[in-house]
Amino acid sequence: MRLLPLTLFFVFCFLSLSAQDKRALTLEDYKEWSRITNTAISPDGQWATYSYKPNEGDTATFFIHEIKGDTVYSAWNAKRVNFSNDSKWLAFLVDPMETKAKALKKQKKPVNSALYLYNITTQSVDTIKDVQSYIFSEASNYIAIKKAKSDPDAKHKGTDLIIKDLNGGAIVNIGNVSEYDFNETGSLLGYLVDAEGDGGNGIYVKDLDGHRTWPVHTGMDTYHQLSWNEAGDQLAVLFGTIPDGKMQHENTLLWLTKLSAGMDVLTAPQTYITDKMAVFPEDHVISEYRQPEWNEAGTQLFIGIKKQQDKIEKDDELEANVDVWHWKDEVVQSRQMITANRDRKSTYISVLNITDKRFVQLETEDMTGVSTNEKTPWAVASVDTTYRANPNRPQGFADLYRIDTRNGNTSLIAKDVYRNMGISPMGDYAIYSRDGAVMLYHFEKGETTNITAKSDVSFLNKEFDRPVEKPTYGIGGWSSDGNWIMLNNKYDIYAFALNSDEVINVTQGIGKKESIRFRLVQLDPEEETLNVDEPLLLRSYGEWTKQSGYYEVTVGKKPKALRYTDKM
């Protein structure tokens, strides 16, 4: 028994020495830590990129790595990393090192980025200096590269635009371009010109296959917010000038239809001129602060309108030295100060039905927070004016209204809603929750269904610890056939039929049984729905084991672990 105190003595000495070898972390150690940024995986899954970026300094190291092989290329200070859709090209911008950037600033010279265009097949790199931005065409046949301003103080926004044919290697240079974008097929390029003195300003369409450029509209105006539709055969833009003594551009909305590669005739553009339309709100303008957006059918353009303001001359502007507020203000003064800059650029969402040029203002001062969906003529307004000034309730409650964007008619969906969950991807439903119950409002029928009443399973997040209405665990996804909505339970995922009372536990109860939290994963960022006839990918996390990974599940079958380990 005398050995026990001696053994404890040696154990104590060992632990004391071990403790002396370790030290507490300091702020100096924090500088050496790095975080991983610029992560991307090529569409074919064969290549990956990442950067090690230290907390201090500018020695971020960027790597291009073959997933089944080794690192093939590295660079410093990369950003805006993108693969082409065919996985044959990788482009990224590179900033100058900190010492060089400081030297350029000291000389009052611009600090610009360089574009690195990496050919994955040949593992070669082309470099273009002084680049502001770039985009690949969806078809991966072209890359457009916009050069940075040579004179940062120049009032015009136009710079050189380089178009490179990624298949043939041909290069075209276009001058004084302010905005640019490819259509969906990559066969047409729309671009705006903003030149010094406004000479040659306009909107142009370049047929990249036929090597022909169409001047759509030119003039001394300023052109803003180029916008293609999803199909790539319609194009919209704003153009206008600022009248003397005013603050906002008096913009005209212009759009083109029936665009295609190889076209022999350009369809005449159509316009909506606000001062010639009786229904357009007086003293308002179409604002360039919001980009026009097409609906999927190509029959509507969603735009932002803003009230025109008189310009205040600097000599007439009083310097404020006190903040004035009133106790009846709906928005408290501290919040008004925070949102002041954003409010200056805020607009009211409106829609133009281009077939008959019917204008409908969706948002007003009283009806704000409007959400739209490109697949449906219905919109949802979240109106909180009744609840803003109530000091006895938390901010966030609102009444939901349905708006018919074709004519502006409105109808109440629900009052006193705290958890607005948006519009379904197919545009059939407005979704909200009340105390864990998920409610679906069908736009066409005007009916509300408590979808979770079909099951005795709770979807309420009871662990949510803020003093407001508790949320659900959220929507897991929607089926692409429009028949199912997937809801997250704490652990499992349930599919609810939209046209019957059928409910399916997609994860077969494995989540609850093994305390694994399953969540659906959508690998295609452009897809909003899931094909439930194909295997679905699940992200998994063990609440008690802390294991994580991925499972695969086919609806109606038991989930299968792809990789579920202690470390990922």
User: 44: which 2 tokens?
Assistant: 């074919």
Strand partners, 407: none
Runs of H (alpha helix) within 242-397: 333-338, 340-344
Tell me what pLDDT residue 335 has. Answer: 66
- Quote the CA–CA distance of 509 and 511 in Å, as a whole number: 5
Query: Which DSSP string do the residues of 433-469 spell out, in sequence order?
Result: EETTEEEEEETTTTEEEEGGGG-S---B-TT--SSSP
pTM higher than the cut 0.85? yes
For 249, half-sphere exposure in the C-beta direction (CA atoms, 13 angstrom radius) is: 21
Across 183-291, the runs of DSSP E, i.e. the strands, are 188-193, 202-207, 212-218, 222-228, 235-241, 250-256, 270-272, 284-286
Q: Residue 186 contacts by C-beta under 8 Å, 6 or more apart in sequence?
A: 137, 138, 139, 140, 141, 142, 208
**Residue 27 DSSP code:** H
- Quote the CA–CA distance of 138 and 143 in Å, as a whole number: 10
**CA terminus-to-terminus distance, the chain:** 47
Q: Residue 28 contacts by C-beta under 8 Å, 6 or more apart in sequence?
A: none
Tell me what pLDDT residue 508 has. Answer: 96
Cα–Cα separations (whole angstroms), residue 229 to 180, 207, 236, 364: 14, 17, 8, 26
- Quote the CA–CA distance of 101 and 343 in Å, as a whole number: 34
Q: Give the alpha-carbon dihedral of 363, 367, 370, 376, to 10 degrees.
A: -80
Strand partners, 285: 306
Burial tier of 447 (Cβ tally within 10 Å: 0-12, 13-18, 19+): exposed
DSSP H or E segment with residue 100 = helix 98-106
Spatial contact of 86 and 13, defined as CB atoms under 8 Å apart: no
Tell me what pLDDT residue 331 has. Answer: 66
Burial tier of 490 (Cβ tally within 10 Å: 0-12, 13-18, 19+): middle
Strand partners, 223: 239
Per 3-state DSSP, the chain is made up of helix, strand and coil in percentages (nearest 5) of 10, 45, 45
- Quote the CA–CA distance of 180 and 204 in Å, as a whole number: 10
- Quote the CA–CA distance of 49 and 65 in Å, as a whole number: 6
DSSP H or E segment with residue 162 = strand 159-165
Tell me what pLDDT residue 274 has. Answer: 84
pLDDT tens, residue order, the chain (568 aa): 443 443 344 344 444 544 556 788 887 777 778 888 999 999 999 999 999 888 776 678 899 999 999 988 999 899 999 999 999 999 999 999 888 888 888 888 888 999 999 999 999 999 999 999 999 999 999 999 999 998 888 888 999 999 999 998 899 999 999 999 999 989 999 999 999 887 789 999 999 987 899 999 999 999 999 999 999 999 999 999 999 988 899 999 999 999 999 898 899 999 998 877 778 988 899 999 999 999 999 999 999 999 988 887 766 556 666 777 676 666 666 666 666 676 678 899 999 999 999 999 999 888 888 999 999 999 999 998 888 877 788 888 999 999 999 999 999 999 999 999 999 999 999 999 999 999 999 999 999 999 999 999 999 999 999 999 999 999 999 999 999 999 999 999 999 999 999 999 999 999 999 999 999 999 888 899 999 999 999 999 999 999 999 999 999 999 999 999 986 5
- Quote the CA–CA distance of 540 and 559 in Å, as a whole number: 11
Q: β-strand 516-521 against 222-228: which pairing, if any?
A: unpaired
Cα–Cα separations (whole angstroms), residue 249 to 35, 155, 286, 537, 541: 44, 16, 8, 48, 52
Q: Report the candidate in 559, 480, 470 with the shortest Cα–Cα distance to residue 519.
A: 559
Across 257-347, the runs of DSSP E, i.e. the strands, are 270-272, 284-286, 293-294, 300-307
Tell me what pLDDT residue 20 has. Answer: 54
- Quote the CA–CA distance of 491 and 457 in Å, as a whole number: 11
Query: Which DSSP string do the residues of 484-532 spell out, in sequence order?
Result: EEEEE-SS-EEEEESSSS-EEETTTTHHHHHTEEEEEE---TT--SB-T
